[in-house]
Amino acid sequence: MNSTATVDSVTRTIRFYHVHNGQNNDQTYRPANIPQILMEVEALPTKVPPGKGNRYLTRRATRSFTITDPSANTTNFRFVTTRIDDYPDDESEGLLAPLQLQEDHGLADTWHCVFFPPFTLAIATQDTTTTSRRLAQYLNAKANLDQPILIEPIARGDIISQVMDLAEISRATIVLKPRDVNAYILGLPTLKAIKAVADDCEFPFKVAVTYHPNRAGLESFKSKILRPLAEFALRVGNPEPDRFTIRGRTEASARSFTLDLLLDVSSVQKEIRKNPPPSGSLDYRDAYEQINTAITDTFKYIGTDNEDEQWYIIPTSGSNTQHQQLSFLE
């Protein structure tokens, strides 16, 4: 199954081509909210970030948008996307272009979505009416703001490290939404890629994680996601954070909570400087034992049998309390 879309930049008309079982169904839509989004997305950055040379000037993006057919009685989720048309880097050539619509074991369709920075980048958004509505609300709410970078990796492989360079020209919030924690392991290449973005961004730099307890075990989630993120966030924070805020939200029961984990980060940093880990190693067990303990204690407050829970790990800079909770399900 393939899906493509083109945009007439003059009339703002979206023409959507949806190929399913060999049949090509093309229709034209004129949603009221598309012109605003189009104008925002077309306002791509024209300044080259310091130290980036001219390689950003050789990139171009082809705007592609699809939406839900308002005349059809369907639950299909049409996506909003920007297709990367040209890369100057050999290793990136052909990445995510063209975008394809994949069938997920005959169940809901999976849409691959990309937004060019400094807007939103999302990958593998699940096909549901609820997701469609919330995504639309999210985009509309953020249309005129400094955009975070939203990343949802697919279980078929770690592609974050390949697409993270798209975020280098943006002040970034990295959101990891693993579909299956057991299938997706946050690896060193991903951490290095995120760190490269963090080095180019103004602080605050935030890392958030969404956890679906019905898709992975709690222990697996803590060991593969929470701990590496905690270790990573402490090392890249600039200025160094003095605490972590782990925020959880239970959608099913409409219950929310916020827990601030106050950590003695200075002693952790001293330990790292005294005994730096080997190059390329994530083994910070001694220095970060207190972080792991704090995270473990936090999970005692919340069960894992709810339909949908969200967890956030946010390194907070100094006394700055302006960090906003970023929720894809707001």
Predicted confidence (pLDDT) per residue in 83-127, tens digit:
333 323 333 322 222 222 222 222 222 222 322 222 222 322 333
Under the banding of pLDDT at 50, 70 and 90, the label for residue 315 is: very low
| Cα torsion through 145, 149, 154, 157, rounded to 10 | 170
Whole-angstrom Cα distance, residue 248 to residue 255?
9
Which residue, among 46, 29, 44, has the nearest Cα to 80 in the 3D structure? 29
Average pLDDT over residues 51-79: 32
Check residue 300 and give its pLDDT.
33
How big is the CA angle at 300 (ends 284 and 187), to the nearest 5 degrees?
35
Check residue 99 and give its pLDDT.
26
Under the banding of pLDDT at 50, 70 and 90, the label for residue 139 is: very low
pTM of the model: 0.20
pLDDT score of 275 more than 50:
yes
Q: Could you tell me what percent of the chain has a pLDDT over 70?
A: 0
User: What is the domain partition of the chain in residue ranges?
Assistant: 2-231
Tokens of 322: 């302006």
In the chain, the DSSP E strands lie at 2-8, 13-20, 23-29, 60-65, 80-86, 101-103, 109-111, 125-126, 149-151, 173-176, 206-211, 241-250, 255-262, 309-317
Check residue 66 and give its pLDDT.
34
- Are residues 203 and 180 in contact, defined by beta-carbon separation less than 8 angstroms? no
pLDDT digits (tens, 9 = 90+) for 257-269: 222 222 333 444 4
Instruction: For helices 227-236 and 265-274, give the axis angle rounded to 10 degrees.
Output: 80
Whole-angstrom Cα distance, residue 294 to residue 114?
35
pLDDT digits (tens, 9 = 90+) for 15-26: 222 223 333 333
Q: What is the mean pLDDT of the chain?
A: 34
Give the highest mean pLDDT range of 70-79, 116-125, 150-159, 203-212. Answer: 203-212
- Are residues 150 and 98 in contact, defined by beta-carbon separation less than 8 angstroms? no
Look-up: residue for tokens 């005294």? 274
**Cα–Cα distances in angstroms (integers) from residue 48 to residues 29, 62, 167, 195, 284, in the given order:** 35, 19, 13, 20, 36
Check residue 273 and give its pLDDT.
56
Quickly list DSSP for 277-309: PPTT----TTTTHHHHHHHHHHGGGS-S-SS-E
Check residue 274 and give its pLDDT.
58
**Cα–Cα distances in angstroms (integers) from residue 49 to residues 52, 55, 168, 179, 203, in the given order:** 6, 10, 8, 33, 16
What residues are paired with 28 via a beta bridge?
15
pLDDT digits (tens, 9 = 90+) for 206-253: 333 333 333 334 444 444 444 544 454 444 433 333 343 433 333 333
Under the banding of pLDDT at 50, 70 and 90, the label for residue 276 is: low
Check residue 54 and give its pLDDT.
32
Q: What are phi and psi of 223, to 5 degrees?
A: -75, -35
pLDDT digits (tens, 9 = 90+) for 201-216: 333 333 333 333 333 3
| Cα torsion through 35, 82, 310, 207, rounded to 10 | -110
